[in-house]
A and B are shown apart, each in its own frame.
Chain A
Amino acid sequence: MRPDRKGPAGRHWLGRREVGIGVVLVGLAMLPFADLEVSTHDPWRHVSRFLAGFLSPDFNSIRSIAWAVVYTVAFGLVGVFIGSLAGLLLAPAYHLRPVRILAATLRAVHELFWALLFLQVFGPSAITGALAIALPYSGIFAKVYSEMLEEADRRPDEVLPPGSGALSRFLYARLPMALSPFRIYTRYRIECGLRSSAVLGFVGLPTLGFELDAFFKVGRYESVAAVLLIYYLMIATNRQWLRPSLIPVFLVAAFGLLITLGGPPFRMENLVRFLTEDIVPAPLRDASLLASSTWDQLSGWLDVLLSTQAFPGLWSTVVVTQMALAVTMFVALLGFPLIVARLVGKVPSISGHLLLVVGRSTPEYMLVYIFLQMLGPSMLPAIIALGLHNGAIIAHLLGRQADALTPTLRPDAPRGFNLYVYEFVPRLYGNFLAYIFYRWEIILRESAIVGILGVHTLGFYIDGAITEIRLDRAVLLIAVTVLATFAVDAIARGLRRRFQLSMNDLASREGSAIY
């Protein structure tokens, strides 16, 4: 059901414009708490070496890079496939509260965190990589599929003979009606799966991130450039070679490849130990649950963990999130005109597209990693990278809508900057804000995850707990991340409702690309 409309937004004491400015102000208010130092001795040397690498990329390691591409595709496809099947099973039951909570939890945990957990049980194996993608994706699929089912035409279902079984009704009259948006969305998700898969290399799976990390560590920027160029080529051309009709073939090949990947054997006892010992808080392990001393120890354990890790980590995560969100807004607003031919001209808009493609198709983790190498470990590279990545995604969506608006402009519409400020920005502002609030929880999740790279957000402490082989702590800290994601999601949903920011008026493909 749609919420009651509360009349024009202007009647609130706070309008849409104020809320946008408010988000920027919150970002600015974080400045005193943010660690923005450029700690590299000579950042320009690193930047120039990195850029120089692109002038003479070194393809000598092409064999290992090629294999990494193959594994990136394999893990991406298998992960998305399993995730979409699971999402499809959950979607019809999505109206049930437990299913909704399950799906929200699955997607609130970033695939890298899933990977870190599964590595503890399955090692760097096919199962780890496939599940790390499949689990969060199943949560996303469940949500989006259920929305699509909700929106699909119900007439065929209504005229079915009374007494038809629920499953038959679903398979014959509900599912086929949503198949077309499913297909478009799933295809979009496959591309996301390729990106996620590449990033899993950073934690040890044999995908492109592994190669990138290895070359960066030894400072071979020419090889780094080669890996990145091949990565962009893979993403940019994926719709050409990964054709819908070929996907089943690719999928079978991917399963075959992953089965032969080798890796450590699966041992049931590891899974049992992980679930019954490793993630149980240390004070409760082998302790009498009736003794009050056990519970005292538990509260002490919690106290230390929360005060020295969870809260400081959460605060840093929020600081990075809010500042990155503000940067995202600037990048999106300043970036979208770059791809609007009416504003910048036909030829420049093509290079604008290229710029935004690089920004949005480079996974945020990879982008932060690259910026960290050059600027040193502070919040600065994380904020810039997250802002650029998310800003480029929104700029791309806005730019396409601006293009679609162009033919509807009046013949005597202003040109250039005036056109931008008088026509495009006001018309697109509602969607812009909606996107910002949709991206908010995603940026929070990303801010948490980049802690693994050394920024002191939640991921830093989670990685630390895993290094100390204290999975109980890691799981608790991940739970804190999940709760933070839920909180931000609830606030964002409230704001969207209050300011009537929905994407219902957008084509499903455009709208769903925001998740």
Chain B
Amino acid sequence: MTLLSLAGETIGWKEHDVLVGVDLSIQEGETIAFLGRSGSGKSTLITHLYRRLIAAGRATALVPQDHALVPPLSVFHNVYMGRLDRRSSLYNFANLVRPLRREVAAIRPILAEIALEPEMFRPVERLSGGQKQRTAIARALFRGGDILLGDEPISAIDEKQSAVVLDTIRRRFSTVLLALHDVDLARAYCSRIIGLRGGRIVIDKPSGKIERGEIEALYAA
């Protein structure tokens, strides 16, 4: 079943157009990696897809590139924000003042899975870059839903951790769309690869059929 399709669309970021003539169709259950140099339009595309999916009422979780965390709040509270829409303001307030047992119990296993449990009640501003990134991922995991969009979600995480994180993501979401910089990881975990260059889609193939040279051309100066 088609989840989303774009036909010849121009996707702009404010007045400045970044992507032109985008033809793209995404099926439910796909795992797609977006590759390309920085500035090629990956972030713009991810943001655009997120807005379209939200507007369509699809349960979508997002890991933005800048994480968009609240530094003075704890890991627990940042993760909890993934479900801020599920509860009343009063409940949310109570949980802010004093973490509720029930929410702690729900969030703890998620953090355990990505090795962040010891940092559960530390303010995010005291975490390392990798820990911050995993907090943003945990927020998306806690949010849940069918679809996950990630904009360089593992850029600051070491190889071993990255594998764990990607496994977890793939297990929990049926459709996964990721902007990645690591070509090998992209090929290993994603069924389809979309290459962007200068605001256009130049590659769109199953990952098994992609040639090394094609990818090198994507990153060439």
Binding site for B on A (CB under 8 A): 155-156, 158-169, 171-173, 176-177, 179-180
Asked if residues A161 and B83 are in contact (CB atoms below 8 Å), the reply is yes
Asked if residues B89 and A167 are in contact (CB atoms below 8 Å), the reply is yes
CB of A512, distance to nearest CB on chain B (Å): 19
Set of chain A residues within 8 Å of B66, measured between Cβ atoms: 155
Of B70, B73, B82, the most chain A CB neighbours within 10 A belong to B70
Set of chain A residues within 8 Å of B84, measured between Cβ atoms: 160-161, 164-165, 168-169, 172
Asked if residues B83 and A168 are in contact (CB atoms below 8 Å), the reply is no
Pick 16 A–B contacts, CB within 8 A, sort by A.
A159-B64, A160-B84, A160-B85, A161-B85, A162-B85, A164-B85, A167-B92, A169-B84, A171-B96, A172-B70, A172-B92, A173-B70, A176-B70, A177-B71, A179-B72, A180-B72
Binding site for A on B (CB under 8 A): 54, 62, 64, 66, 68-73, 77, 81-85, 87-89, 92-93, 96, 143
A167 to B88, CA, bound (A): 10
Set of chain A residues within 8 Å of B92, measured between Cβ atoms: 165, 167-168, 171-172
CB of B64, distance to nearest CB on chain A (Å): 6
A155 to B85, CA, bound (A): 17
A161 to B72, CA, bound (A): 20
Nearest-neighbor residue (CB-CB) of B73 within chain A: A176
Set of chain B residues within 8 Å of A162, measured between Cβ atoms: 54, 85
Asked if residues B64 and A171 are in contact (CB atoms below 8 Å), the reply is no
Set of chain A residues within 8 Å of B83, measured between Cβ atoms: 161
CB of A19, distance to nearest CB on chain B (Å): 35
Known: A162-B54, A171-B96, A172-B77. A156 touches B70 (CB 8 A): yes
CB of B187, distance to nearest CB on chain A (Å): 29
Dominant SS among interface residues on chain A:
helix
Asked if residues B143 and A171 are in contact (CB atoms below 8 Å), the reply is no
CB of B63, distance to nearest CB on chain A (Å): 9
A156's partner among B68, B88, B93 (CB-CB below 8 A) is B68
Nearest-neighbor residue (CB-CB) of B97 within chain A: A171
Set of chain B residues within 8 Å of A159, measured between Cβ atoms: 62, 64, 68
CB of A390, distance to nearest CB on chain B (Å): 35
Set of chain B residues within 8 Å of A164, measured between Cβ atoms: 84-85
CB of B21, distance to nearest CB on chain A (Å): 28
A165 to B71, CA, bound (A): 21
CB of A364, distance to nearest CB on chain B (Å): 36
Set of chain B residues within 8 Å of A176, measured between Cβ atoms: 70-73
A161's partner among B73, B82, B88 (CB-CB below 8 A) is B82
Asked if residues B88 and A172 are in contact (CB atoms below 8 Å), the reply is no
A159 to B143, CA, bound (A): 11
A162 to B143, CA, bound (A): 12
Of A155, A156, A159, A172, the most chain B CB neighbours within 10 A belong to A159
Cβ-closest 10 pairs across A and B: A155-B68, A164-B84, A163-B85, A167-B89, A161-B85, A168-B92, A165-B89, A164-B85, A159-B68, A176-B72
Set of chain B residues within 8 Å of A177, measured between Cβ atoms: 70-72
A119 to B101, CA, bound (A): 50
- 7 new A-B contacts, CB < 8 A, other than A160-B84, A164-B84, are A159-B64, A165-B85, A168-B92, A171-B92, A171-B93, A171-B96, A172-B84
Nearest-neighbor residue (CB-CB) of B72 within chain A: A176
A176 to B81, CA, bound (A): 13
A217 to B54, CA, bound (A): 73
A161 to B139, CA, bound (A): 11
Asked if residues A172 and B89 are in contact (CB atoms below 8 Å), the reply is no
Asked if residues B82 and A156 are in contact (CB atoms below 8 Å), the reply is no
A465 to B85, CA, bound (A): 56
Set of chain B residues within 8 Å of A180, measured between Cβ atoms: 72
B88's partner among A165, A166, A179 (CB-CB below 8 A) is A165
A173's partner among B54, B64, B81, B87 (CB-CB below 8 A) is B81
Of B54, B66, B81, the most chain A CB neighbours within 10 A belong to B81
Known: A162-B54, A172-B96, A180-B72. A155 touches B89 (CB 8 A): no
Nearest-neighbor residue (CB-CB) of A162 within chain B: B54
A162 to B86, CA, bound (A): 10
Known: A165-B89, A168-B89. A160 touches B96 (CB 8 A): no
Set of chain A residues within 8 Å of B143, measured between Cβ atoms: 161
Nearest-neighbor residue (CB-CB) of A161 within chain B: B85
CB of B68, distance to nearest CB on chain A (Å): 4
A180 to B93, CA, bound (A): 20
CB of B103, distance to nearest CB on chain A (Å): 13
Set of chain A residues within 8 Å of B89, measured between Cβ atoms: 165-168, 171
Set of chain A residues within 8 Å of B64, measured between Cβ atoms: 155, 159
A176 to B72, CA, bound (A): 6
Set of chain B residues within 8 Å of A166, measured between Cβ atoms: 89
CB of A144, distance to nearest CB on chain B (Å): 19
Set of chain B residues within 8 Å of A167, measured between Cβ atoms: 89, 92-93
CB of B199, distance to nearest CB on chain A (Å): 23
Set of chain A residues within 8 Å of B70, measured between Cβ atoms: 156, 172-173, 176-177
Nearest-neighbor residue (CB-CB) of B125 within chain A: A180
Of A165, A169, A177, the most chain B CB neighbours within 10 A belong to A165
A161 to B59, CA, bound (A): 10
A179 to B70, CA, bound (A): 11
Nearest-neighbor residue (CB-CB) of A163 within chain B: B85
Nearest-neighbor residue (CB-CB) of B140 within chain A: A159
Nearest-neighbor residue (CB-CB) of B92 within chain A: A168
A177 to B71, CA, bound (A): 7
Asked if residues B88 and A160 are in contact (CB atoms below 8 Å), the reply is no
CB of B44, distance to nearest CB on chain A (Å): 15
A169 to B64, CA, bound (A): 18
Nearest-neighbor residue (CB-CB) of A170 within chain B: B89
CB of B84, distance to nearest CB on chain A (Å): 4
CB of A341, distance to nearest CB on chain B (Å): 34
Nearest-neighbor residue (CB-CB) of B88 within chain A: A165
Set of chain A residues within 8 Å of B69, measured between Cβ atoms: 156
A158 to B54, CA, bound (A): 13
A515 to B143, CA, bound (A): 43
A172 to B69, CA, bound (A): 10
A164 to B86, CA, bound (A): 8
Asked if residues A160 and B81 are in contact (CB atoms below 8 Å), the reply is yes
Nearest-neighbor residue (CB-CB) of A166 within chain B: B89
A173 to B88, CA, bound (A): 16
A162 to B82, CA, bound (A): 10
Nearest-neighbor residue (CB-CB) of B139 within chain A: A159
